[in-house]
Structure 1
Amino acid sequence: MVIIEGLLPPSRENWETVCYIWQFFPVITAFQWVLDWYPQGKTSTNFSLNIPGKIGWATMESAGFITLIYIMLSLPRELGINELPWGNWTMAGCFVIHYFYRAVVSPLFLNPSMSPIHPFVWVLAFLFQMFNAISLGGWLAGYGPTTVHEWGGRFWSMEIGLVIWAWGLLGNMFHDDDLREIRRAADRKQRKEAERTGKPLDGVDKVYMLPKNGLFQYALYAHYLCEWIEWAGFWMVGGWNCTPARTFLVNEITTMLPRALQGKRWYEKKFGKEKVGNRKAIIPGLL
C-alpha cells in the first residue's frame, strides 16, 4: 500500500534526493557546538508545550524502524522484486532490533523515569529517523543489492561487522542500564524512607549521579561510544560503499559528540571538576 506517492515507499529519484539531503544533517545540528541549550534529558527546561519524556521518546524514535519495515515490505512489490537477499534482511533486522529496544522497550518498560522533551528536539529527532529510514530502507529494499551474488565474496567482513555490531549493542545496553540503576536505587531509597516515616515520594525524575561502572570510569558518555561502535559494525556489514550506512554513522557522531561535550560541562558544573576527574566526554583518554 502506497502511503505517500513517490516517497513512502520512495521512487528512485526521490530516494536519491533524500540520500543527498541527509548528508547535510550535521549542518542542522551545528548549533550544539556553540550553544548549551538542549531541552531534553538532564538539560531539559520548563516549557508549557513539553512532551512527556517516555511518550515523546517512544514516538520520535519508533518512526525510524516502523518506516524501514514498511519500506522493506512495500518497495520490492513496487519494483517487481520477488525476494530480497538475506544480507538485506540481516541489516534490516539489526536496525529494527536496536530501535525496538531503544524506542519501545527502554522508555516504556525499563526506564524508571524520563525528563520532558521540548517539541523542537522531538521534531529534529523525528526528522532524523524519517530521513535515515528512507535512506537505509530504499537501499535495502531495492535500490541497493538485490541478489545474493552482490553480497558474495565478502562474507568474512560481514561476519566481523555483525560481531562488532553485537558487541556495540550489548555495550550500549549495559551502560544504559547502569544509568537506570542510579534512579532505581534512588527510588528504592525513597520508598524505604516513605515506609518508615510516611513521607510522600519525591520522585526520581531529576536524580543524577556520576556513573561509574564499565567504561563510565573513563568516559561520561560511554553509551554513546558503544552506539558508534555498533553502527560502525553495521556499516561494515553493508560494505564500505553502503552510503546510507556511512551517512547514518557520520550523522550519529556529529549529533552526539557535541551533546556529550555539553554533558561533560553539565557534570562538571553540577558535581565539580574534582569529582569528574580525568574522565573524558566520550572517548576514553582522548575526547
Structure 2
Amino acid sequence: MALIPGILPPSRETWEWTCLLFSWFPVITAFQWVLDWYPQGKTSTEWRFNIPGKWGWFTMESVGFITLLYIMFTLPHELGLATLPWGNWTMAGCFVIHYIYRAVLSPLFLNPSMAPMNPFIWLMAFAFQLFNAISLGGWLAGYGPTSDADWAGRYLWMEVGLVIWAWGLLGNMFHDDDLREIRRAADRKQRAEAEKTGKGLEGVEKVYMVPKNGLFGWVLYAHYFCEWVEWAGFWMVGGLACTPARTFLVNEIATMLPRALQGKRWYEKKFGKEKLGGRKAVIPGLV
C-alpha cells in the first residue's frame, strides 16, 4: 500500500528526480568550507530550541533505514515483481545493519552522552537520510537489478566489496567505542569522587580528550575514515552501475570532510598543535 502515492514508494519519475537532486548535495555543504559554525557535537552552542542529542540523532538517522525497508517491501509489488535478487537484499541488509548500529544502538544504548543539536542540523540530516533512502531504495527495489542474472559475473567483486564493507563497519565501531571510553572513564572518575566528597555529578556531556588508540594515532576522525571505507565497499558490491551508492559515498565525504577539518581546528584551539603530535584530520598522511 502506497503511503504517499508516487512518492513513497517512489514512481520512476520521482526516483529519477530524487537521484538527480541528491547528486547536488555537495553544493549545499559548501558553507562548511567557509564557516566554522556547526552547532552539533563538540561544536554545539546553547540555544533554547536545541534538540536533545540522543533523541535528535535517533530520529534524524532512523528515517533512512526505515524508509528504505518500506520501499523494498512495497515498490516490487507496484512494479509487478514477484521477488528481488539476493544481491539487492544483501545491499539492503548492509545498509540496515549500519544504521541499526548508528541510529538506534549508538545514541540510545551505547553513548554515555550526546551534546544537543541545532534544529537546522537535524533538518539537514533528516533530509539527507530521506533522499538517500529513496535513491538507494528505488534502485534496490525495482529500478536497478531485477533478477539474479543481473548480478552474474560480479560475484568476486561483490565478495571483496562485502569484506571491505565489514572491515569498515568494524573499524567504525572500534573507534566510536574509543571515543565513548573517554566519557565512560570521566563518568567513573566523577562517581568515585562524588562518593568520597558527597558532591553531585558534573556530567560528561562536554568532556573531550585527544583520542589515541587505533587510527586515532594518525588522524583525529578515524571513525569518519572507516565509514568512508565501509561505503566504498558498499559501492563495490553494487558495482559502477549503482549510481545511488556512488552518490551516497560522495555526499558523505562532501559533508564529513569539512566537518573533520573544522574539528581539527577545534582540537588545535583547545589542546594546542603540540598535543596533537602531527595528526591529520581524517585521511592518514594526507588530510
TM-score by length of 1: 1.00
> Match of 2:50, as an amino acid?
N
Measure, in 1, the Cα distance between the counterparts of 2:67 and 2:57: 16
Measure, in 2, the Cα distance between the counterparts of 1:57 and 1:22: 21
Question: Counterpart in 2 of 1:96?
Answer: 96
Question: Counterpart in 2 of 1:13?
Answer: 13
Q: How do 1:1-287 and structure 2 match up within 5 A?
A: 1-287=1-287
- Computed over aligned residues only, the root mean square deviation of the Cα atoms, in angstroms, reads 0.4
Measure, in 1, the Cα distance between the counterparts of 2:79 and 2:159: 29
Over 3 Å off, 4+ runs: none
Measure, in 2, the Cα distance between the counterparts of 1:240 and 1:187: 46
Measure, in 2, the Cα distance between the counterparts of 1:241 and 1:90: 16
Measure, in 1, the Cα distance between the counterparts of 2:196 and 2:2: 59
Q: 1:277: how far off?
A: 1.8
Residues 27-48 of structure 1 show CA distances to partners (whole Å, capped at 9, x for unaligned) of: 1111000000000000000111
> Match of 2:86, as an amino acid?
W
* Unaligned ranges ≥5, structure 1: none
> Match of 2:126, as an amino acid?
F
State the aligned residue count: 287
Q: For 2:30, what is the secondary structure of its paired residue?
A: helix
TM-score by length of 2: 1.00
Measure, in 2, the Cα distance between the counterparts of 1:71 and 1:115: 32
Q: 1:3: how far off?
A: 1.0
Percent of residue pairs bearing the same amino acid type? 78
* Unaligned ranges ≥5, structure 2: none
